[in-house]
Each structure stands twice: as C-alpha cells, then as structure tokens.
Amino acid sequence: MEAPTPSRAERLFHLGADATSRTFQLPDDGSRWYVCPLCLLGFSEDDIGTDLTEEHVPPKSVGGAVLLLTCRSCNNSAGHTIDAAIADRDHIESFAQGISGTAEYTGRARLKLGDAEVTVDVETGPNGVRLNVVRGRTGPTDLEALRAAFDAAVEAGTSDGLAFTLTPRRRVHTRQASIGDLKSAYLLAFTKFGYKYGTSAALSVVREQIDSPESKVVDHFFFPMPDHDREGMILVTSEPCVALLVMLPDRAVLLPFPFDGGPEDPYGQIASLGGPINFKGHPVPWPTEPEYVLDRPGASGS
Ligand SMILES: [Zn+2]
C-alpha cells in the first residue's frame, strides 16, 4: 500500500524538524520537533493545524504565499497588529497611486468640500477618478451643503475654484507596518539560512522587536527605496558591513548576518555612519520553500 501524500504543512514540518535535529543536540529518542522561528518553542507533528500553522510571507493580505510554519500564538498576535498595519499601508499607497493616476483603486473615503463632509466610494481608472456619495452614510444637511458648494463653484465659473479634501478611511501605523516588514524580512532570511542563523545571538533583538511592536528594541533597520529593481532578492552586503538587506517592494530591511565577519550589531554601525548609506553586496533570490542552507551538513558559516 502506498503511503498517503503528505500535506504541505506536514512537508514543512519535516523540513524544519530535519534542520532542527541537525542544528540542536536533541536526545536521540526518535521524537521530532518543529521549532517556531519566532518564539523558538518546540512543537510536535500532532500540533499541525492547531498550535502550529502555515505562515504567509509577506502577509496574505498583500499577496504573500505560504513559506513555512509558525506557532498559532505568534501567527495570531502578529496578525492583529503588524500584519494588519502592512495591509492598511498597502491600502493607503494604492489610494495615493489611484488618485495620482498611476494605478486603479476602489475604496471608501471622506470628502470635505466647503461645509460638507460626506462618505464617498472612490473608483479610479483610465478615465479618471469617480466619487459616488454613499447615501446611507450621509445626512441630508451634508448632502445639501455638498450641492451648495458645487453650485457655487459652477456659478463662479472657475475651473480652479473647487478645493476639496479626500481622506481614505484607514490610517497607517507607520512604525508597526515597518515592524511587519522586519518580520517578513526575518522569516525570509530564516527560510533561506535556517536555524543556525535564526537562533544566533545577533538575531535575538530582531525576534524581540517583532514580539513587542509597541516598544523600540532596534532602530535603523528600515530603508525606503522607491522603485528599486531588486525585488525578490536578499542582498548579502559587504559594505558598509557584512549583513543582509532584504529587498521588499519600495523598501528594504537590514538584518544582522553574524557569519563571514558580519558584526553582531550592524544597526549600531549604521547609526554611527549617518547620511545616506551605500550598500554593496551580492544578491540571492528569496526562498520559495525552506532551504536552511546553514543547517545543511558541511555548511560553512560558523
Ligand atoms: Zn511562536
């Protein structure tokens, strides 16, 4: 009889358990453990689907794919704060692109015109921006004020006389969104380099920061890079120091790489430089499944 094909989660479990058993000295009793890359707690195969869950990187809300397993507790707590902040930022960015005519956008916003303030559905496309007043969310007084403001503008006959403010309904928590990026970057680097990398002392501040998005544990990890052409890459930098620069859309996240001469605290080094930083290094592609290259037998990097 053929064994049933393992599910994706089972496959991810065993890839992690293999790497775990090579990297940590575990009792040789045949038991297998998957260590959550965020909290470093161990889970058994029976925990799949309950305490051990599939994690999308970047978050599912911005189009990420399942990359590895994390524990339910880490997955849930991040989902409510930093992953949600990433989704909100993505929403605001597409709103801005929609209004400036560089992308299509559909969503709800507040329109302020003269004394009127109404809720509108915004739709942008090749023919411009369409605003539809949401009747159920607009009182008769505001609707009347809106008509009056339009009439006044038409009466004045000027094309530049209609000033209004359009505010998307969501807010961005910038710092939390950047910590969401730190988490995506860490999980990508972890999936590439493995447990020897993720459990090294240099990475403990990164895991701590992801776990406590409200406090400031690390700084100088986030670099806005609009329209860079290295999307889907991890830059293994040689300058200004050995580190990893994980390239996300329009931004990059710096992580320690305490191997091959990399410092334990690249953030301190970056902070002392000041001014614009010129990163140099060689790119490796994002992993699409666990590679754990430093956990492989005979791997360098010690
Ligand atoms: Zn965890």
Predicted confidence at residue 245, as pLDDT, reads 98
What is the value of pTM for the model shown?
Answer: 0.83
Q: Which of 146, 156, 148 is nearest to 113 (CA)?
A: 146
- What's the mean pLDDT when you consider all of the chain? 89
Residue 99 alpha carbon to ligand 1 centre in Å:
40
Residue 50 alpha carbon to ligand 1 centre in Å:
13
Residue 263 alpha carbon to ligand 1 centre in Å:
26
| CA dist., res. 111 & res. 131, Å (int) | 9
Predicted confidence at residue 294, as pLDDT, reads 96
Helices (H), the chain: 8-23, 72-80, 82-99, 140-156, 174-193, 195-198, 204-211, 266-273
- Both structure tokens of 231: 């999307």
Predicted confidence at residue 3, as pLDDT, reads 66
Residue 46 alpha carbon to ligand 1 centre in Å:
16
Predicted confidence at residue 158, as pLDDT, reads 62
What are the backbone dihedrals phi and psi of residue 137, each rounded to the nearest 5 degrees, phi first?
A: -110, 15
Residue 293 alpha carbon to ligand 1 centre in Å:
21
Residue 191 alpha carbon to ligand 1 centre in Å:
15
Residue 202 alpha carbon to ligand 1 centre in Å:
18
Would you say residue 148 has pLDDT above 80? yes
Q: What percentage of the chain exceeds 70 in pLDDT? A: 96
Residue 35 alpha carbon to ligand 1 centre in Å:
8
Predicted confidence at residue 192, as pLDDT, reads 98
Residue 134 alpha carbon to ligand 1 centre in Å:
43
Tens of pLDDT, residue by residue over 191-239, are 999 999 999 999 999 999 999 998 999 999 999 998 899 989 999 999 9
Cα 28 to Cα 24, 59, 74: the distances in Å are 11, 36, 28
The DSSP result for 57-84, as a single string, is ES-GGGT-EEEEEEEHHHHHHHHHTHHH
Residue 75 alpha carbon to ligand 1 centre in Å:
7
| CA dist., res. 151 & res. 146, Å (int) | 9
Segments making up each domain of the chain, as ranges: 8-80+174-295, 89-168
Residue 52 alpha carbon to ligand 1 centre in Å:
8
Residue 253 alpha carbon to ligand 1 centre in Å:
21
Would you say residue 264 has pLDDT above 80? yes
- Which range, 1-5, 20-24, 88-92, 200-204, has the best average confidence (pLDDT)? 200-204
